[in-house]
Structure 1
Amino acid sequence: MHLKKLALIFSFACLLLQQGIAQKKTKERGVWTAKQANAWYKKQPWLVGPNFLPSTAINQLEMWQEDTFDTVSIDKELGLAESIGMNTARVFLHDQLHQQDSIGLYLRINKFLEIAQRHKIKPLLVFFDSCWDPFPKAGTQREPKPFVHNSGWVQSPGQVALKDSSSYPRLEAYIKGVIRKFATDKRILGWDVWNEPDNMTGPSYEKIELPNKVDFVLPLLRKTFIWARSVNPSQPLTSGIWAGNWSSDQTLKPIEKLQVEQSDIISFHNYDKPEQFEMKINQLQRYNKPLLCTEYMARPNGSTFEGFLPLAKKHNVAMFNWGFVSGKSQTIYPWDSWTKTYTSEPPLWFHDIFHTDGTPYKQEETSFISTITKGATKGKK
């Protein structure tokens, strides 16, 4: 174990040296123009991949902490993604990981990137998240609550840090530290600075959620974009809009306006039927920037691969479905499993594509994904 860690440290030191030589001091960059964003996007293949959490982790902390950083499962499961033509993955980090062990976090991110690169997958990394448990705690994570969707997923930053402005320098160090280490790393697709920032958690945690949460999130989201941009990442920044009326700039909520204005590329979520999905694409095309659908695919809702991917390919929208290999996140169960009792596997999986042993949930579904993504990993010149 000791020799393994020394090898990781040496490998990472070499990486940082290479990046330090390559990276020049430049003036802090602004938000990408449409021209800059589209020039970047033209160099990418059609991007298709999952929101990735290894089946052995219940949340972001368990995925990344040293004792539970499961490179065997990560390698195996990213291999499954590669096998069906996927070439990207959206992956969540957590601020408490940086507070707990920043150097270790950098080492493990680098190791993850090495594995992803072997499988021709370029990840989109997420910093903050307003969904599910508002009281995260680093260390050993709880066991899943049987038959409940995302029973152990945690917010970042948690409610305590969100309310306490004295914790913001630590959050700033997290954002700047991670991006600075990987600002010129071509293995990273981009940075998603905050997932569903105004999500109020619904029935799962509404009794303990901050009723005025958005009052804290909105100014911190603004700061987060500033912190991220201040270290001049070569990769794009984004934060996805997810609920509301996007038909015009006048109908956007203040937090949505901030997300759109500060994003180098536009990202959004949609779990509706194909017609609504295409309507949202048409509405967001007015910004003339690349579009990334960073969450979709809930089979009972009518959000499926067969319904969405052909439309996405037609409009050149990057696609990141929620769920991949069924495991401790238990996202085969629907959102209503927080209020409705399930005692066995649902008749139709909500999310996820593969069983834990690597066999497809629906062979016709994975065959469809393989067919429609054929050639996508080759990229563009």
Structure 2
Amino acid sequence: MRKLFYAITLLLLVQFVCPVIAQTDQRWSKQKIWEWYNKQPFYCGFNYIPAYAINYTEMWDKTSFDAKAIDTELALAEKTGLNCLRAVLQYAVYEDDPEYFLNTLDKFLAICDKHNIKFMPALFDDCVFGIEHDPKVGKQPEPLKGWYAWAWSPSPGHSMVVDPTTHSRIEKYVKAVIGRFKDDKRIFIWDLYNEPTNGGLGSASFPLLKKVAKWAREINPSQPITIDIWNGDKQLNDIALANSDIISFHNYGNKNELIKQIGELKTHGRPLINTEWMNRPNGSVIKDNLAVFYNEKVGCMLWGLVNGKTQTDLPWGHRPADPIPAVWQHDLFHGDFKPYDPEEIEVLKDFALKSRNSSYLQEHQK
């Protein structure tokens, strides 16, 4: 009887447990994601926050959203040859007025489309560079001169991330946003969560991160899904990889460091796209690294476009009393649209021209 009991138990495990385990991987198959990727151009773009916005709350909020300013800046991006952008959405603006937020996102997509730029929305962001850990809608603080990203506002904010009683509200946001645009060709990838655990949260971000991935899969968008690899936390990276159709990553290192990481990530057998790079003082520069992305068939989005209220020309951690560095960390243009380095702009235009050639597309599809 004992042997029969064990045999039946084993059979039940095989029939019921194993299929459940097999079905937990809801990623696109490698064949499907490669078929999608091989139809795409070489994506060369930027992380976008308008010069008028000190944070993403100000970018999207009904008191400050400026379609005209965005249109002007994206026209500059198009002229430079950039064909995609990534920006963080703000949960607090959605919760304040869901209909307004979804309609504003649609307006933003229309501006992107007008300038032949594909959009990668990031639904959440844990980053904090100042003293506030939760966003507030309405008028935002003015810059504190000399402080990198002084008033950066995470989404949905650290208080909600760590409070599971708020997650049902966040679920509505995820499903409303992805559900509205799940078949919109102006969106090319969904980035579910920018730098989870950053800003001091650590593993406290894991429960929400896993839920967000689950909610996104329930909507099943026609666009691929990703969560960025941004640091060396194995547990975090395992979660990201297990929930990414296409592998995305951040790399602010020099050419050799970039090549090394690309080689490591290619072992997973999925296409890659870099969603943050360019740190001039650190050796992550256009003249060296852009060729690596192009030759390795890895899309890329540098940080950022027009220098403005975020003061991201300064290095991370810069404070008002620190000396002003001689070299900008991020951004391509001054506030008056003059290039920080005209040679960088020419290199970007050259690669944009290369990517439009049929020879690149044919090689890309091999």
TM-score in terms of structure 2 length: 0.88
Pairing 1:86-235 to 2, within 5 Å after superposition: 86-132=82-128, 133-199=132-198, 201=199, 209=200, 213-235=201-223
Separation of aligned partners in 2, 1:92 and 1:325: 16
Whether the 8 Å contact between 2:25 and 2:242 is mirrored in structure 1 is no
Query: Cα deviations across residues 223-242 of structure 1 (Å, max 9, x unaligned)?
Result: 10010111110111111111
- 1:223 is paired with a residue whose SS is helix
* Amino acid in structure 1 at the alignment position of 2:327: L
- 1:267 is paired with a residue whose SS is strand
- 2:311 is paired with a residue whose SS is coil
* Amino acid in structure 2 at the alignment position of 1:304: V
Superposed displacement of residue 93, structure 1: 0.2
Q: Which runs of 5+ in 2 are unaligned?
A: 1-23
Superposed displacement of residue 160, structure 1: 1.4
Separation of aligned partners in 2, 1:82 and 1:362: 17
Match of 2:330 among 342, 351, 364: 351
Q: CA 1:374–1:214 in 2, change beyond 3 Å: closer, same or farther?
A: same
Q: CA 1:42–1:103 in 2, change beyond 3 Å: closer, same or farther?
A: same
* Amino acid in structure 2 at the alignment position of 1:307: D
Separation of aligned partners in 1, 2:271 and 2:208: 25
* Amino acid in structure 2 at the alignment position of 1:116: C
Match of 2:321 among 330, 336, 341: 341
Whether the 8 Å contact between 1:86 and 1:377 is mirrored in structure 2 is no
Separation of aligned partners in 2, 1:184 and 1:143: 37
> What does residue 45 of structure 1 align with?
41
Separation of aligned partners in 2, 1:262 and 1:153: 27
Matched, 1:308 2:304: no
Separation of aligned partners in 2, 1:137 and 1:69: 15
Separation of aligned partners in 2, 1:149 and 1:189: 30
Query: Cα deviations across residues 235-257 of structure 1 (Å, max 9, x unaligned)?
Result: 1111111111xxxxxxx611110
Superposed displacement of residue 196, structure 1: 0.9
Superposed displacement of residue 154, structure 1: 1.2
CA RMSD between the two structures: 1.9
Superposed displacement of residue 135, structure 1: 2.1
* Amino acid in structure 2 at the alignment position of 1:37: I
* Amino acid in structure 1 at the alignment position of 2:166: S
Q: Sequence identity of aligned pairs in percent?
A: 38
Q: Which runs of 5+ in 1 are unaligned?
A: 1-27, 202-208, 245-251
> What does residue 17 of structure 2 align with?
none
Whether the 8 Å contact between 1:296 and 1:320 is mirrored in structure 2 is yes
> What does residue 20 of structure 2 align with?
none
- Tell me the number of residue pairs that the alignment of Structure 1 and Structure 2 aligns: 335
Whether the 8 Å contact between 2:56 and 2:90 is mirrored in structure 1 is yes
Separation of aligned partners in 1, 2:154 and 2:263: 31
Match of 2:265 among 280, 284, 295: 284
Which structure is larger by alpha-carbon Rg, 1 or 2?
A: 2
Separation of aligned partners in 2, 1:375 and 1:115: 25
Separation of aligned partners in 1, 2:79 and 2:355: 12
Separation of aligned partners in 2, 1:303 and 1:354: 17
Q: CA 1:239–1:378 in 2, change beyond 3 Å: closer, same or farther?
A: farther
* Amino acid in structure 2 at the alignment position of 1:126: A
Whether the 8 Å contact between 2:274 and 2:300 is mirrored in structure 1 is yes
> What does residue 238 of structure 1 align with?
226
Whether the 8 Å contact between 1:29 and 1:232 is mirrored in structure 2 is no
Separation of aligned partners in 2, 1:341 and 1:271: 25
